[in-house]
Amino acid sequence: MAKLTKVLLSSSSVLMLAALACGSGTPTQIPVENATTAPVAGGTPAIVQAPLTQHEMTPGELPADKLGSVGDQDSSITAAKKRAPGGDRFTFNRFERPFNSVSMDTYFPYLDILESTVYQDDLWLYMVVRMKGQSQQETLPGKYALELDTNLDGGGDWYVEVNAPSKTEWSVDGVRVLFDDNDDVGGTLSMHTDDPATTGNGYEKSVFDSGQGDDPDLAWARISPADPTVVQLAVKRAMIDNDTTFMINAWAGADDMDPARFDLSDSYTHEQAGTSLTELPIYYPIKEVSELDNACRIPVGFQPTGNEPGLCPTKPAENVACASEQYICIPFGNQVICYCIDN
């Protein structure tokens, strides 16, 4: 990946370069942070220009064809009853918790995933996450992420997150990329609670943070220009060596969505984490793991058997039996895999 270029310029030089850039078609230079002041002799502050990040590649519009899509529970339906309609299975690292802790009397539509969809072009991998709604301030103040399992073992390998996206143009602001360098995400039994419990440091290696890293163009995010409830993430396919087979899923959350503690089902006990399902009275209500939602993993580039860790429960297409009759079917070659979205 290209090394990050840092340039220290005077204010007059910045204006001159900007004028030249407009006339020559050179790449746009975007400030990483605001200019600061530094004292000089006589006590008069001088303006010190912050480093600039030069971006050479920006994601485009979404491709016409999607690679896969998975639906997720709409917890607004049962929010008045202080519970989720389904989907919260802590022991399988599946969460449906767009509520506050303990009292569960506040529902957060901007943390409630309804659908996640994956696209891909020659250069970029896109994850599109549709939320139930916005905050009362008509914003999306949560954290929105994708998780990639590139070796199909259930343990996540890459984590890409944007914090409180606010722009409808592609931006690196608040975007970070983390890698599980020591391969401990998932513990000893991927996507299942380990017994006895295991501890690790989750996604511990920072690769990119708001344009800072070996490749300042590695990852981007924006709010969909067409829908203010949709978050779009884009990451270079080169990050995963243009791998054509992987599993990917979406996350939405707040402070408890801590990538250093992934898998979350290994970092807490079920008693500590609680549940959003009243039919599990031993663990109800939500406790230490709240304001969180994730979706099942989407298989890309291969025909799943249905037993891959993180996939939604599968049923034969000709005999779908889901508790609420909510399911989504995706064709893979001559086979159709149907995912229940109420388990």
Tell me, yes or no, whether 50 and 28 share the same domain: yes
335 domain residue, yes or no:
no
322 domain residue, yes or no:
no
Per-residue pLDDT of the chain (343 residues; tens, 9 = 90+): 433 333 333 333 433 333 333 333 333 343 434 444 455 555 555 555 556 678 999 999 999 999 988 888 999 999 999 999 888 999 889 999 999 999 999 999 999 999 999 999 999 999 999 999 999 999 999 999 999 999 998 899 999 999 999 999 999 999 999 999 999 998 666 666 766 666 789 999 999 999 999 999 999 999 999 999 999 999 999 999 999 999 999 999 999 999 999 999 998 999 999 999 998 999 999 999 999 999 999 999 988 877 788 887 655 445 555 555 555 555 444 445 555 554 4
Tell me, yes or no, whether 245 and 274 share the same domain: yes
Tell me, yes or no, whether 185 and 210 share the same domain: yes
Sheet holding 327-332, edge to edge: 314-316, 335-340, 327-332
Tell me, yes or no, whether 141 and 112 share the same domain: yes
Tell me, yes or no, whether 30 and 92 share the same domain: no
CB 264 within 8 A of CB 289: yes
Give the count of beta carbons closer than 10 Å to the beta carbon of residue 8. Answer: 10
211 domain residue, yes or no:
yes
326 domain residue, yes or no:
no
Tell me, yes or no, whether 117 and 223 share the same domain: yes
337 domain residue, yes or no:
no
Tell me, yes or no, whether 45 and 131 share the same domain: no
Tokens of 115: 């659908």
- Structurally, the chain folds into a number of domains equal to 2
What does the pLDDT read at residue 312?
74
Tell me, yes or no, whether 30 and 165 share the same domain: no
Tokens of 56: 């050479």
110 domain residue, yes or no:
yes
Tell me, yes or no, whether 19 and 101 share the same domain: no
176 DSSP β-pair partners: 161, 209
Amino acid identity of residue 65, one-letter, is: D
The tally of CA atoms less than 13 A away on the side-chain side of residue 21 is: 13
pLDDT in tens, 224-253: 999 999 999 999 999 999 999 999 999 999
Tell me, yes or no, whether 15 and 162 share the same domain: no
d(Cα 25, Cα 28) in Å, to the nearest integer?
Answer: 8
CB 103 within 8 A of CB 78: no
Tell me, yes or no, whether 94 and 215 share the same domain: yes
The closest alpha carbon to 230, from 83, 67, 119, 80, belongs to: 119
Q: 3-state class of 69 per DSSP?
A: strand
112 domain residue, yes or no:
yes
pLDDT in tens, 154-169: 899 999 999 999 999 9
308 domain residue, yes or no:
no
Question: Which sign, positive or negative, has the C-alpha torsion 115, 120, 123, 125?
Answer: positive
246 DSSP β-pair partners: 300
Residue 38 lies in domain:
11-54
Tell me, yes or no, whether 154 and 279 share the same domain: yes
pTM: 0.79
The closest alpha carbon to 2, from 270, 236, 288, belongs to: 236
